[in-house]
Amino acid sequence: MLPPFDPWHTAMTAFDVASSSKAGPADLARMRAQRLVVLLEAARRAPMFEALIGARDPATIHLQDLPITNKAMLMANFAGWVTDPELKLDEMCRFVADPTRIGEAYLGRYLLWESSGSTGGSGLFVQDARSLAVYDALEAIRRPVPRPFEPWLQPWRWLDERTAFVVATNGHFASTLSVERLRQLNPLLARTLCCVPFLQPLAQLSAQLMGIAPQILATYPSVAVMLAEEQLDGRLELHLREVWTGGETLTDAMRATIAHAFHCDVVNNYGASEFMSLASECAHHQLHLNSDWAILEPVDDKGLPVPPGVMSATTLLTNLANHVQPIIRYDLGDRVTVHADPCTCGSHLPVIEVHGRSGDLIRLPGAQAGEDTRVSGLALSTVLETVEALSDFQLIQHAPDRLELRTELSGPGTGKMLRQARSVLETYLRSQGAADVHIACHSNCPSLRSRNGKVQRVMAMP
């Protein structure tokens, strides 16, 4: 069965997103207010929101009067959170446990994304054709150089342009599913888009990429840096037109390394499983919040708003596109600064900075004396997340060849789980060419969380 897609709604949304890209602050505020009323009307079909909103007219409700929500709270009351009673959590969990169903429509009309993330355990997010149309339009149009008309204006270039997404392919994750969905909807894209697993030895990954010879590489900043270093060392030879990054913070130094190695532009974005395309980069390398479809409230650790220019303790998201699983004042756990001054590019979409989604690179001793092996922190946390019931952990590098795996968990079964985690980690590190790495495991550790509730899963040696 084909993934969810509504051609008419997609075309209308693309037109709307294109025409709103240069909208002024008043028009953006009007769009947000109207969409919030429609969202609250729809949310009332979910029992939890019905209890909150009651018989009140949604047009009279102030967003700040609604309670703050988070992933753990909503997952614990999943049946009350969704507006379609046919969405049953246990059946959905069985569906996402099956990797052969990646990209398939659930109940014929939904896409299911799972997320592990660094806050509050795993989550399951439901998208329908309407919310996907919004993400599709934002991805295609809100770019330094919009490309929605390229298939018609330069079909030869578009048809020949290959894009390699180097991502986690071992689950129903938003990044992999978005690519698989496009491939299934459009046979032409199936020839030019591909997902490449980043959980494989670097030499193997480089060889696979050279076989594909993409013009566009899309991946996490830390993985792009690792590949950039391979390119600079001559072990990788790619001729890229652009590198797209997302999922972690891209620092100026990371951008410079990637651009220098591949002699091309780096385009960054900010998204989450809860809203795929939260902010897009302009030609001036500023991240603009897509504030016509998403409301972000930067707040302090008491949940009170912080002024523009000040880094928040966390951020509350209201997704104006998703009416199936309303995301309202949802604590994303990200520290964000929203800037008051408009960007010199002319867009009135607010400029934001996202802090602390750090992607540490770990350097470990290689098999040959004097050689080192680089592994991305994201890869290590993805590997550890495959260990069942290891819901909370932190991996710290204390010395070049010494790692410590810590967990807050305790009680029966924890020792066995940690032994399994160590074995999975050792196997992965060996496959990456790391040798003689000692991994100490500790359970019942004090809280690993920082004040904003996030855990930095992997910490490299300073």
The helix/strand/coil state of 193 is: strand
299 neighbors 315 (Cβ within 8 angstroms): yes
Stretch that binds Zn ion, among 30-38, 61-69, 157-165, 282-290 (CB under 5 A): 282-290
Is the sign of the CA dihedral 92, 96, 97, 100 positive or negative? positive
Strand pairing report for 351-355 and 335-338: antiparallel
Shortest separation between residue 346's beta carbon and Zn ion, angstroms: 7
Taking contact as CB under 5 A, which single stretch among the options 170-178, 272-280, 345-353, 447-455 is the one that binds Zn ion? 345-353
Q: Does 23 participate in binding Zn ion (rule CB under 5 A)?
A: no
Q: Which is nearer to Zn ion, 338 or 343 (CB)?
A: 343
Nearest distance from C-beta of residue 283 to Zn ion, angstroms:
7
Window of 103-111, 225-233, 274-282, 310-318 that interacts with Zn ion by CB under 5 A? 274-282
Q: Work out how close the CB of 347 gets to Zn ion at its nearest, in angstroms, rounded to a whole number.
A: 5
Residue 66 vs 345, nearer CB to Zn ion: 345
Paired tokens of 191: 């020839």
Could you tell me the smallest distance in angstroms from the CB atom of residue 288 to Zn ion?
6
Sign of CA dihedral 123, 189, 162, 143: negative
- DSSP secondary structure string for all residues of 29-64: HHHHHHHHHHHHHHHTTSHHHHHHHTTS-GGG--GG
Q: Which is nearer to Zn ion, 250 or 429 (CB)?
A: 250
One of 66, 185, 345, 461 touching Zn ion (CB under 5 A): 345
- SS3 at position 429: helix
- From the list 185-193, 239-247, 335-343, 432-440, the region that binds Zn ion by CB under 5 A is 335-343
Token code pair at residue 47? 């029992």
Please state, in angstroms and rounded to a whole number, the distance separating the CA atoms of residues 87 and 84: 6
Residues 6 or more apart from 189 whose CB is under 8 A from it?
182, 183
Q: How long a stretch of residues is the chain?
A: 462
Is residue 158 within 8 Å of residue 210, measured between CB atoms?
no
Sorted by sequence, the CB contacts under 8 Å of residue 107 that are 6+ apart come out as 86, 87
Q: Which of 334, 376, 295 is nearest to 70 (CA)?
A: 334
For the chain, the first-to-last Cα distance in angstroms comes to 49
Of 124, 174, 282, 405, the one binding Zn ion (CB under 5 A) is 282
Residue 143 or 181 with smaller CB distance to Zn ion: 143
The greatest distance separating any two alpha carbons of the chain, rounded to the nearest whole angstrom, comes to: 71
Binding mask 294-333 for Zn ion (x = CB under 5 A): ----------------------------------------
286 is a site residue for Zn ion (CB under 5 A) = yes
Residues in binding contact with Zn ion, number by CB under 5 A: 6
Nearer to Zn ion among residue 209 and residue 282 (C-beta) = 282
Asked whether position 219 contacts Zn ion by CB under 5 A, the answer is no
In this complex, which beta carbon is closest to Zn ion, that of residue 183 or of residue 288?
A: 288
**Closest to Zn ion by CB, 345 or 459:** 345
Q: How many CB atoms lie within 10 A of CB 269?
A: 23
Count of alpha carbons within 13 angstroms of residue 367, beta-carbon side: 5
284 binds Zn ion (CB under 5 A): yes
> Does residue 268 touch Zn ion according to CB under 5 A?
no
Nearest CB to Zn ion, comparing residues 3 and 350? 350
Q: Which CB sits closer to Zn ion, 27 or 41?
A: 27
Among residues 166, 191, 339, 189, the alpha carbon closest in space to that of 258 is found at 166
**CB proximity list for 390: less than 8 A, separation 6 or greater:** 384, 407, 409, 417, 418, 421
User: Given the complex with Zn ion, which of 116 and 347 has the nearer CB atom?
Assistant: 347
Selected from 343, 437, 441, 458, the binder of Zn ion by CB under 5 A is 343
CB 355 within 8 A of CB 290: no
Choose between 22 and 419: whose C-beta lies nearer to Zn ion: 22
Q: Please report how close the Cβ of residue 158 comes to Zn ion at its closest, in angstroms.
A: 25
The span of 69-77, 210-218, 238-246, 340-348 binding Zn ion (CB under 5 A) equals 340-348
Q: How far is the CB of 22 from Zn ion (least distance, A)?
A: 11
Give CA–CA dist 449/281, Å, rounded: 30
Contacts to Zn ion by CB under 5 A: 282, 284, 286, 343, 345, 347
